């Protein structure tokens, strides 16, 4: 079969072989690729993480899929130079490696394409990262309730976020063991991130420290839902 997609993960095996994970509009595909990590291989450039290309994949001699040939179309991380930008790519890889996508595949594929393109603006890396996490959590069915208090629905006196309850919490329903109290500026920023489109990102400005706090909160929510640690979140520092 012929598929187009984004290389998300490459696990190098002995003698330059690799297991590759490819994100397509139909979901995630894993396949074996022989000798593609040899820099002399004609398929080498198309099999690097965040390469976008066309891939011919066949049934392998044993169970599973095997690469026939690959054609590089573009490298999506070409303009990524800052630590925040590389942390964003690492986060995309980590979040998609740990999940099984059985629905909303096209939406997740489109999300990753939008995020990688938006992330080329180095000054917006942290906002793009937070938007990615928020959108991904929603697509996976783990979105946070941000319209009001997740317990009573009140839009007044919102004071924090309760990840175990799944959203904003008002003062009346604070749970001392699970509620994270947040300053008003962070509450506003979380709500703002949930509403903005990628086209509007260029005109959005949020303090870097606020963005780091939000990235860590959203990252914690993902970790709670998957029981997987996101190491790349730690790369975002104040």
Q: What is the pLDDT of residues 114-170, one digit of tens each?
A: 999 999 988 889 999 999 999 999 999 999 999 999 999 999 999 999 999 999 999
CA distance 164 to 68: 46
> In terms of domains, do 65 and 121 share one?
no
Please give the pLDDT value at position 35.
Answer: 84
Please give the pLDDT value at position 166.
Answer: 94
CA distance 180 to 207: 20
Considering 20, 50, 75, which residue would you say is the last residue of a domain? 75
Least confident residue range of 25-39, 139-153, 218-232: 25-39
Please give the pLDDT value at position 123.
Answer: 86
> In terms of domains, do 152 and 101 share one?
yes
- Model pLDDT for residues 42-55, shown as the tens digit of each residue: 988 999 999 999 99
Number of compact structural domains in the chain: 2
With a cut of 90, say whether residue 41 has pLDDT above it: no
With a cut of 60, say whether residue 103 has pLDDT above it: no
With a cut of 90, say whether residue 233 has pLDDT above it: yes
Q: Could you tell me the CATH number of the domain that includes residue 66?
A: 2.40.50.140
| Residue 78: pLDDT band with limits 50, 70, 90 | confident
| Residue 102: pLDDT band with limits 50, 70, 90 | low
- Edge-to-edge order in the sheet of strand 158-162: 167-170, 158-162, 179-181
The mean pLDDT of the chain is: 91
> In terms of domains, do 27 and 109 share one?
no
Please give the pLDDT value at position 142.
Answer: 93
Which residues, in sequence order, are CB contacts of 225 under 8 Å at separation 6+? 137, 140, 142
| Residue 237: pLDDT band with limits 50, 70, 90 | confident
| Residue 61: pLDDT band with limits 50, 70, 90 | low
Give me the DSSP letters along 59-98.
E-SSSSEEEEEEEEEEETTTT--SHHHHHHHHHHHHHHHT
- Classified as helix, coil or strand, 103 is coil
Name the burial class of residue 40, with classes exposed (0-12), middle (13-18) and buried (19+) by CB atoms within 10 angstroms of its CB.
exposed
Please give the pLDDT value at position 101.
Answer: 59
Q: Which domain holds residue 176?
A: 83-235
> In terms of domains, do 101 and 10 share one?
no
């Amino acid at each position: 079969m012929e598929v187009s997609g984004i290389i998300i993960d490459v696990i190098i095996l002995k003698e330059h072989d690799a297991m590759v994970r490819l994100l397509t509009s139909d979901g995630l595909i894993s396949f074996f690729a022989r000798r593609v990590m040899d820099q002399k291989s004609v398929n080498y450039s198309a099999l690097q993480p965040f390469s976008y290309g066309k891939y011919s994949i066949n049934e392998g001699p044993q169970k599973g899929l095997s690469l026939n040939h690959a054609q590089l179309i573009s490298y999506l991380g070409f303009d990524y130079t800052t630590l925040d930008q590389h942390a964003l790519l690492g986060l995309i890889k980590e979040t998609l490696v740990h999940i099984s996508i059985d629905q909303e595949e096209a939406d997740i594929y489109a999300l990753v394409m939008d995020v990688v393109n938006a992330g080329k603006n180095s000054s917006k890396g942290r906002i793009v990262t937070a938007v990615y996490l928020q959108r991904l959590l929603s697509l996976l069915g783990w979105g946070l309730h941000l319209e009001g208090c997740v317990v009573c629905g009140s839009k007044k006196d919102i004071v924090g976020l309760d990840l175990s309850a799944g959203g904003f919490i008002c003062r009346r329903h604070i749970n001392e063991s699970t509620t994270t109290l947040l300053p008003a500026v962070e509450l506003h920023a979380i709500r703002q991130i949930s509403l903005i489109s990628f086209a509007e990102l260029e005109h959005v400005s949020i303090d870097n420290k606020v963005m780091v706090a939000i990235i860590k909160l959203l990252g914690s929510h993902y970790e709670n839902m998957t029981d997987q640690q996101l190491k790349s979140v730690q790369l975002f520092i104040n």
